């Protein structure tokens, strides 16, 4: 069925004839419904002012959106207790409400948690329940999204972290260019709060910051945003966390850039994604030598990013870029000292050199990153489409 928005456009063409033809040839882009439902939070203007607490009635005027957060499985850290929990971790539902005033943006986040865990100055093995909100520093037409796991060298992110502590909330603002790189910033600060509802067993967190300042401008039509939650009881901190894929805040009253919207909605259009079963066959042939995914564990562990549930935290666009342009989207290696060459020694040294084979990328003379993964740009478009379908669906 034709999109209803096409009708006025067609009418205009008919009435004004040839003169208006050029304009009318391109109707306004209507993003597929599934994209809007899965990936977008509509941010309404708060007519009665922004809510100030988690229980503020004004949140009721906001659209309720719900996202699934998945355990981070791309890189595996070394805490045995945390890894045991990770092996049985389930996705988590994060409920998001967002409101804007002309100057401010406010979020209300809610997620289930059986018990509250707060960091304490009295224990060494207690971790605090936490949440984070992440934005790209630079975004909009002509820019790809940063790597979901705390950005990359070309596209850094700004991340706001709130952590429950026995003496209130610990708030951090950081910039990052990938795993392990986050560095505290004096950038635009956010006001955060966290409250545990022991009766409903729900954490509620509020987050608010100016839409725009001289460092970072969120006063735009479509703002990429990602969320993360840490469950302290499961020893989660740092890279042990659950995270969303890139989502979007569609701020009411801002003019939509259709080109950006089209690019970001890649994967939801007709024919962009193929057959997952055919994709699986291809993945078993082409990816399994280096990557682990859904029961396929033939590769050396940690030889390449683990693809388990990768589609749950990666966009279609990212998956396509990693297949076709791997140098553009490398995942930052965790500490390369994690693997060393036991058979090799440097003369006179007691320590062994690192195992360069376990590095995910190298650098050329200019310092640019060269991924260990070759480009698969020779694949037929339908093969790529099939791979995308499989990767989006792949489980652990």
Partner 1 sequence: MSKRQLAMVMDLNKCIGCQTCTVACKTQWTNRNGREYMYWNNVETKPGPGYPNKWEDMGGGFDAEGNLKDGNIPGLSGDYGIPWDYNHDEIMKGAELAPRSTPQTGPNWNEDEGAGDFPNSYFFYLPRICNHCSNPGCLAACPREAIFKRSQDGIVLVDQSRCEGLRFCIAGCPYKKIYFNPKLFKSEKCILCFPRIEKGLPPACAQQCVGRIRFVGYLDDEEGQVHKLVHKYKVALPLHPEYGTEPNVYYVPPLAGPKKFDKTGKPIEGSDRIPLSYLQSLFGPEVETALETLKTEMAKKKSGQPSELVDLLIAFKHSEMFRLNVQAKKGAEANG
Q: Name the strand (E) or helix (H) holding 226.
A: strand 222-230
Q: Name which of 179 and 203 has its Cβ closer to partner 1.
A: 179
**Two structure tokens written together for 360:** 């995910």
Q: Is the dihedral of CA 180, 181, 184, 187 positive or negative?
A: negative
Q: Is there binding between residue 60 and partner 1 (CB under 8 A)?
A: no
| Sequence-ordered list of residues with C-beta below 8 angstroms from that of 167, at least 6 positions apart, any chain | none
Question: Who contacts 354 (Cβ-Cβ below 8 Å, separation ≥6)?
Answer: 336, 337, 339, 340, 341
Task: Check residue 360 for interaction with partner 1 (CB under 8 A).
Answer: no
Q: Please identify which residue in 347, 364, 365, 378 interacts with partner 1, judged by CB under 8 A.
A: 347
Chain positions 280 to 309 lying near partner 1, rule: CB under 8 A, are 301-302
**How many other CB atoms sit within 10 Å of the CB of residue 388?**
23
Nearest by Cα to 137 from 151, 154, 156, 150:
156
Exactly one of 45, 53, 298, 335 binds partner 1 (CB under 8 A); that residue is 335
- Candidates 4, 348, 367, 380; binder of partner 1 (CB under 8 A) is 348
Segment lying near partner 1 (by CB under 8 A), choices 5-13, 65-73, 235-243, 307-315: 235-243
Contact set for partner 1, span 92-131 (CB under 8 A):
119-125
Is residue 78 part of the contact set for partner 1 (CB under 8 A)?
A: yes
Cα 2 to Cα 8, 9, 10, 15, 171: the distances in Å are 12, 12, 11, 20, 48
Spatial distance between the Cα atoms of 293 and 307, rounded to a whole number of angstroms: 5
CA distance 206 to 227: 13
Instruction: Specify the stretch interacting with partner 1 by CB under 8 A; choose among 257-265, 317-325, 346-354, 388-396.
Output: 346-354
Q: Which is nearer to partner 1, 347 or 365 (CB)?
A: 347
How many residues bind partner 1, per CB under 8 A?
Answer: 40
Q: List the interface residues with partner 1, window 144-183 (CB under 8 A).
A: 179-182
In the chain, what is the straight-line distance between the N-terminal and C-terminal CA atoms, in Å? 38
- For residue 185, the minimal CB distance to partner 1 (Å) is 14
Q: Tell me if 270 contacts partner 1 by CB under 8 A.
A: no
- Least separation in angstroms between CB 298 and partner 1: 17
What distance in Å separates the CA atoms of residue 273 and residue 316, rounded to the nearest whole number? 9
Going by C-alpha positions, the residue among 210, 205, 199 that lies closest to residue 168 is: 205
Closest approach, Cβ 154 to partner 1, in A, equals: 20
The residue among 192 and 388 lying less far from partner 1, judged by its C-beta, is 192
When asked if residue 186 is in the footprint of partner 1 (CB under 8 A), the reply is no
Under the binding rule (CB under 8 A), the answer on residue 355 touching partner 1 is yes
Nearer to partner 1 among residue 65 and residue 242 (C-beta): 242
Residue closer to partner 1, measured from CB, 31 or 178: 178
The string of DSSP codes covering 352-371 is: PPB-GGG-SEEE-TT--EEE
Out of 16, 53, 66, 83, name the contact with partner 1 by CB under 8 A.
Answer: 83
Strand partners, 225: 247
Residues that bind partner 1 in the complex, under the rule CB under 8 A: 77-81, 83, 119-125, 179-182, 235, 237-239, 301-302, 334-335, 337-342, 346-353, 355
């Amino acid at each position: 069925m034709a999109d209803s928005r096409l009708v006025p456009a067609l009418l205009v063409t008919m009435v004004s004839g040839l003169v208006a033809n050029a304009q009318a040839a391109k109707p306004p882009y209507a993003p597929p419904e599934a994209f809007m439902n899965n990936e977008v939070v509509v941010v309404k203007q708060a007519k009665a002012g922004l809510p100030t607490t988690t229980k503020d009635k004004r949140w009721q005027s906001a659209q309720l959106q719900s996202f699934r957060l998945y355990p981070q499985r791309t890189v595996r850290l070394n805490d045995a207790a945390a890894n045991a929990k990770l092996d049985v971790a389930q996705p988590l539902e994060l409920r998001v409400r967002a409101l804007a005033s002309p100057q401010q943006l406010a979020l209300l986040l809610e997620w289930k948690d059986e018990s509250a865990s707060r960091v304490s100055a009295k224990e060494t093995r207690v971790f605090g329940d936490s949440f984070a909100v992440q934005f790209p520093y630079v975004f909009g037409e002509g820019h790809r999204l940063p790597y979901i796991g705390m950005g990359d060298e070309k596209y850094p992110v700004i991340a706001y972290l709130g952590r429950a502590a026995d003496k209130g909330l610990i708030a951090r603002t950081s910039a990052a260019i990938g795993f392990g790189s986050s560095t505290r910033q004096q950038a635009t600060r956010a006001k955060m709060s966290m409250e545990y509802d022991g009766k409903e067993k729900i954490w509620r967190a509020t987050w608010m910051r100016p839409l725009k300042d001289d460092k970072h401008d969120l006063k735009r039509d479509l703002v990429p945003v990602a969320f993360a939650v840490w469950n302290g009881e499961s020893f989660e901190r740092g890279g042990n966390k659950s995270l969303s894929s890139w989502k979007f805040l569609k701020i009411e009253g801002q003019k939509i850039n259709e080109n950006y919207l089209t690019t970001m909605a890649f994967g939801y259009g007709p024919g962009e994604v193929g057959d997952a079963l055919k994709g699986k066959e291809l993945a078993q042939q082409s990816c399994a030598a280096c990557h682990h995914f859904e029961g396929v564990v033939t590769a050396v562990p940690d030889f390449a990013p683990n693809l388990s549930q990768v589609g749950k935290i990666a966009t279609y666009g990212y998956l396509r870029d990693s297949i076709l342009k791997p140098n553009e989207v490398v995942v930052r290696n965790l500490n390369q000292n994690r693997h060393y060459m036991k058979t090799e020694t440097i003369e006179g040294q007691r320590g062994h050199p690192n195992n360069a084979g376990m590095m995910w990328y190298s650098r050329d003379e200019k310092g640019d990153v060269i991924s260990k993964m070759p480009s698969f740009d020779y694949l037929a478009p339908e093969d790529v489409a099939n791979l995308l379908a499989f990767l989006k669906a792949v489980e652990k």
